[in-house]
Structure 1
Amino acid sequence: MSLLRVRDLNVRFQQGAAATHAVRGVSFEVGRGETVALVGESGSGKSVTALSTVSLLPDSAAIEGSITYDGAQMVGASEKELRRVRGNDISFIFQEPMTSLNPLHTLEKQLAESLSLHQGLSGQAARDRIVELLHQVGIPEPEGRLKSYPHQLSGGQRQRVMIAMALANGPDLLIADEPTTALDVTIQAQILELLAGLKRERGMSMLFITHDLGIVRRFADRVCVMRHGEIVETGPTARIFADPKHSYTQTLLAAEPTGSPDPVPADAPEIARTENLKIWFPIKRGLLKRTAGYIKAVNDASVSVRAGETTGIVGESGSGKTTLALAIMRLISSEGRIVFQGRDIQGLRSREVRPLRQGMQIVFQDPFGSLSPRMTVAEIVAEGLKLHDTGDTRPHREQVAEILSETGIDPGTMDRYPHEFSGGQRQRIAIARAMILRPKLVVLDEPTSALDQTVQVQIVDLLRDLQKRHKLAYLFISHDLRVVRALSHNVVVMQRGDVREQGPTDAVFDNPSDPYTRALMAAAFDLKADAADAVAV
């Protein structure tokens, strides 16, 4: 008998007179001890389907069909019955723990709340159970973490706390909604290994929601492929990957960045270079704010990039990747040499650097966060033209139309606002904003990590095309090593502020010399090595 059975599920969201049909006739089952993956692009209905299981959708949602858990009907169940099931029999792990954990409460208080509600535990009994849970999910020295707040933990540790909260009451079904998307490859590997181990020990069932097919291949027993609110194909994982029947499934499986960038001419000029760059942030303590120590963000980093070349910068969160790039752009203070187009810019004053900013631009990870919701696309893209003289005397709207067309956005949509575009389109707008100033150096800070795999491929192709056309130098920061390999000529591997290894991409990927690099490659490409070594190195 199946633990969870969904039959002919339909979900509609009513917004005024209009209704959005988000899920259409979805049917699937999750057996006891089984892992079923729901895969598909953003907006395909995966999360809505999962939240429907225990009626966690807003009041504007109308749910039709049948959802049974352990034989009990969930659609139309009383709030009392749903509360008994939520967090007790069925638990959730969400994608971004920082938004799921209360920033004002300690870990102990947040974990104790669930134990009190469902098991009646309090005081020392609850504290002992919390320490046990934190230990199970791999939080070091859990007794000392009870009074910690979420912001005092790393991303991987916050996700482990979310898993501890989900497992607190011994659920039979764990629903994990993109639980590793925002994590580095080594942390991702650890979280997946942790979930797999807990599943084996407890005999749990799992409904795993993701757009990362690499995770699905390693982790799921069966796969349901969703598109436009419907399940277009379902079957055992091995069969789906070996012989996909539906054209959309075939497209998803083929959507992986491949190939390599065009070679760089031997006489290509150097665009940017650092020599022995050091970035230490002082730790101030006491009434007089004396320096008690330093956060050593970057130590002795020497990197370079030429016209038409991409230097990939990889490593875990906190390794110094973004800090290094921001220092090169003179957005934060540093020591050592920074050379941009043959000029040492380290000692320049802010007003002397300002004219150079036209030649160095940045594209961020989250385009929705970096694009003003109050400005139209035309205003966003043209903003830089008001500050810098590119030498182009054409009207700004004409220049905006040209760069939007070049980056794959219909110029006729330039008077719309960012929320009216998909995630991939918003990233194209962010790229257009940087490219309209015709820069020489572009910092790409995780520009594809928040995107579906099919959209990732499109953005990688766009970046290659723009680089070839304009001989752009890229500093490409990412924890997705597959994308780095497809786009980068050279790779710099960083850990805790140190450059552990650097060189041509193929050499570093195929024959890494540093133990940390080998652990990164193992985590990213599922090699026979312990990804946890990356943290220990």
Structure 2
Amino acid sequence: MNAPLLQVKDLHVRFQQEAGETHAVRGVSFTVNAGETVALVGESGSGKSITAMSTVRLLPDNAVTAGQVLFGAHEMLQMRERDLQSVRGNDISFIFQEPMTSLNPLHTIEKQLVEAITLHQGLRDKAARARVVELLHQVGIRDPESRLGAYPHQLSGGQRQRVMIAMALSNDPKLLIADEPTTALDVTIQAQILELLADVRRARGMAMLFITHDLGIVQRIADRVCVMKDGEIVEQGLTAEIFANPQHPYTQMLLAAHSAGVPQPVPDEAPVIAEVQNLRVWFPIQRGLLKRTVGHVKAVNDANFAVRAGETIGIVGESGSGKTTLALALMKLVPSQGRILFLGREISALSHRQMRPLRRQMQIVFQDPYGALSPRMTVAQIIAEGLGVHAVDPATPREQQVVAIMREVGLNPEMRNRYPHEFSGGQRQRIAIARALVLRPDLVVLDEPTSALDMTVQAQIVDLLRDLQAKHGLAYVFISHDLRVVRALSHRIMVMKDGDVVESGLAADVFDNPTSDYTKTLMQAAFWA
């Protein structure tokens, strides 16, 4: 085994707040050896990111740290800020979860990479530009010269993350700290990024501290793993040994927490709730002073499907494949061509005003429970908002309806007068589900409702959705790039790529015997183990 590169000994982190002190990290100790990958694993709030940020003192001013963090011969917690800055970015680099918050939206990719290289290596002009091109080529950006003038918003999620990796590697760090770097990416892009990080680590002999809540990624990339809960490391060891024989109950729970099982079968007599025929969504590209249409963005091409009461159709594909646009077109939230039928009635030509009475019967739950709930409204107000628009069971007081639906989705009704920020991510998603179901819809569109959640919470939400569907005969259109969740929830599958439906059929058939090359690639990336 190589000599320890990073040693964390009895680390404590406390945050001083007006309401009192929060002890976020409690006596954490671990090492990262030169050339190896160590994973910090745990659910949201376990302290893994705070632990990583503590290694280079990237914590807010109200943080108080104790213990030791040794990087080579440096005692990081005692270093002067000036000396610390020479270590950050040079010897230790970071990759964060969301590159759009880490990249400057006002500067080109070239300018941001050149800035990092100039700051630490002193290269300028042609030499700096050559180094940027070399880095972008190394991280798999095709035709890097053509991308130098691009801004972050002009790149895909996978490309932005590759730029972040290039920036982190620009100064040949000894240690790379990667904080959930693949969480927001499609399964195929995630597989590419993980393979890239593994290749770079081997080629450079670099160590990596990898932070994640996804144990599948840990098994794929890490040599050793540290499992964190409530600010403590409850178990650590070689990855193969932890997975084969976990000792701590929390580790056992994490390994068992995955969306399993299958949905209940759909009754033969179940009526069709919604159907689309030859649906097309093309967005015009307009240029010039007169805004002439010079082309189209073909978001959805000739889609056909139907969903029955008690049935889930899963729509899968990478970002930009058209799956969300298809669902929005079904709900008449974007203009489209083709036929849309809802409860046996054609709604394709209905106006906004004519659609309003039908809105109660078709609801949507979004991916981000943080952005979907108003921070200025209590949970009771959020859930009851739709009741004020649509007359649902007017004889029953709204408060009573709110209490009933909160109980049904597993929320304590006594918390109904609290605000969204006082709830966890999983609880917020339950609030969003309650807001949709309180209106007693026939159709619910679920747009990536579990992607922002920990594995254990994800499994709970899938179980909840299955139970609610069985109880109320709900029709679901479930959009996701997480094929494990799709498999657990869906009766039928549609696979989309570049606006086209490349494969569709019963879930078991598509998962067990995919016919298109694209579907096979998706399956291989998602179920690599």
Please give the range of the TM-score, normalised by the shorter of the 2 chains.
over 0.9
How far apart are residue 17 of structure 1 and its match?
A: 5.4
In structure 2, how many angstroms separate the alpha carbons of the residues matched to 1:242 and 1:181? 25
Partner of 2:234: 232
Q: Which residue of 2 aligns with 1:249?
A: 251
Show the counterpart of 1:70.
72
Q: Any unmatched runs of 5+ in structure 2? A: none
SS of residue paired to 1:44: coil
| Letter of the 2:73 counterpart | G
Please, which of 157, 172, 175 is the counterpart of residue 173 of structure 1?
A: 175
- Given candidates 497, 517, 523, the residue that maps to 2:499 is 497
Aligned mates of 2:127, 2:397 — CA distance in 1 = 70
1:392: Cα distance to partner? 4.0
1:417-450: per-residue Cα shift (whole Å, max 9, x none)? Answer: 0000000000000000000000000000000000
SS of 1:442 mapped into structure 2 = strand
Name the count of aligned residue pairs: 527
Counterpart position of 1:387: 389
Q: Deviations over 1:385-435 (max 9, x none)?
A: 010012342111110000001001100000000000000000000000000
Q: Does 1:526 align with 2:496?
A: no
Show CA shifts across 1:265-305 (max 9, x none).
11100000100100000011112111111100000000111
Distance in structure 2 (CA, Å) of the matches to 1:277 and 1:62: 58
What are the Cα deviations for residues 99-130 of structure 1, in whole angstroms up to 9, with x where unaligned? 11111111011111111110011111111100
Residue 99, structure 1, aligned to residue 101, structure 2: yes
1:532 maps to: none
2:306 aligns with 304
Give, in whole Å, the separation in 1 of the partners of 2:67 and 2:330.
56
1:35 equivalent in structure 2: 37
Rounded to whole Å, the distance in 1 between the matches of 2:285 and 2:17 is 51
Amino acid at match of 1:387: V
Amino acid in the other structure paired with 1:100: S
Matched, 1:459 2:465: no
Counterpart in 1 of 2:407?
405
User: What does residue 356 of structure 1 align with?
Assistant: 358
- C-alpha separation in 2, matches of 1:16 and 1:392: 44
SS state at 2:333 partner:
coil
TM-score, normalised on structure 2? Answer: 0.99
Q: Judging changes above 3 Å, is the alpha-carbon distance between structure 1 residues 395 and 234 closer, same or farther for their aligned structure 2 residues? A: same
Query: Whole-Å Cα distance in 1 between the matches of residues 400 and 18 of structure 2?
Result: 38
> Match of 2:82, SS?
helix
Letter of the 1:342 partner, please give it.
G
Root-mean-square deviation (CA, aligned residues, Å) is 0.7
Could you tell me the percent identity over the aligned residues? 70
Q: How far apart, in 2, do the equivalents of 1:389 and 1:17 lie?
A: 42
- Per the alignment, residue 289 of structure 1 pairs with 291
Aligned equivalents of 1:19, 1:120: Cα separation in 2? 43
Worse-superposed segment, 230-239 or 137-146: 137-146
Question: Which amino acid counterpart does residue 89 of structure 2 have in structure 1?
Answer: G
1:510 and 2:512 aligned: yes
Of 473, 482, 485, which residue of structure 2 is paired with 1:483?
485
Q: Is the 8 A contact 1:39 1:226 kept in 2?
A: yes
Name the counterpart of 2:46: 44
Distance 2:393 2:61 in 1: 54
1:49-93 C-alpha deviation (Å, 9 max, x unpaired): 000000000111011100010121101210111100101100000
Residue 418 (structure 1) aligns with? 420
For the residues of structure 1 that align with 2:273 and 2:214, how far apart are their CA atoms?
35
Paired letter, 1:286: G
Deviations 1:9-66 (A, max 9, x none): 0000111251100000000000011000000000000000000000000111011100
CA offset at residue 246 of structure 1? 0.2
> Is 2:268 the counterpart of 1:266?
yes
**Residue 127 (structure 1) aligns with:** 129
CA–CA separation in structure 2 for the residues paired with 1:416 and 1:345: 38
Secondary structure at 2:46 match in 1: coil
In structure 2, the residue matched to 1:373 is: 375
Aligned to 1:56: 58
What is the distance in 2 between the residues matched to 1:421 and 1:389? Answer: 29
CA distance in 2, matches of 1:393, 1:128: 72
1:299-321 Cα distance to aligned partner (Å, 9 max, x none): 00001110000000000000001
Equivalent-residue separation in structure 1 for 2:461 and 2:447 (angstroms): 13
Equivalent of 2:473 in 471, 475, 482: 471
* Preserved CA contact (<8 Å) 1:3 1:71: no
Q: Which runs of 5+ in 1 are unaligned?
A: 528-537
AA in 1 matched with 2:214: D
Contact 1:366 1:447 in 2 (8 A): yes
**SS in structure 2 opposite 1:312?**
strand
CA contact (8 A) 1:234 1:240 kept: yes
CA distance in 1, matches of 2:78, 2:407: 49
Q: In the alignment, what sits opposite 1:164?
A: 166
Contact 1:277 1:337 in 2 (8 A): yes
Which residue identity is paired with 2:493? Answer: V
AA matched with 2:8: V
Q: Show structure 1 runs of 4+ deviating over 6 A.
A: none
Cα distance, 1:205 vs structure 2? 0.3
Q: Which residue of 2 aligns with 1:5?
A: 7
**Could you tell me how far 1:208 is from its partner in structure 2?**
0.3
Mapping 1:137-152, distance limit 5 Å: 137-152=139-154
Return the alpha-carbon distance in structure 2 between the equivalents of residues 25 and 392 of structure 1: 56
